[in-house]
Amino acid sequence: MANAAFNKPLTPSATLAAIIGSKEISRPESLKKIWDYIKSSKETKKDAKDGRKYHSTDAKLVALLGSDFSMFDIAGKVSKNLK
């Protein structure tokens, strides 16, 4: 049985909406869209020594996550941008 609160539609902030759109979206769906965006961004590179870290010059990602971020930072930062 799915957790109803976990899948509740939430409204993204303007910073997050620049990446995933302004339509209400659940937390898991928003994280999937963020990962799709990160993977498709030519301005975001995975750290060669530590595959869990990323460096980005993509303005939208820098506004949301900062220029250097870990894969573990993403969920927390995205959650702060969903209401």
Instruction: Note the pLDDT tens digit of each residue in 34-70.
Output: 999 999 999 999 999 999 999 999 999 999 999 999 9
Instruction: Give the pLDDT score at 64.
Output: 96
The burial class, CB within 10 Å (0-12 / 13-18 / 19+), for 14 is exposed
Total length of the chain: 83
CA-CA distance, 34 to 64, in Å (whole number)?
A: 10
pTM, to two decimals: 0.88
**Cα 66 to Cα 13, 23, 69, 71, distances in angstroms:** 16, 23, 6, 12
CA distance linking residue 65 with residue 22, whole number of Å? 18
**Distance from C-alpha of 83 to C-alpha of 70, rounded to nearest angstrom:** 23
pLDDT at 19 over 90: yes
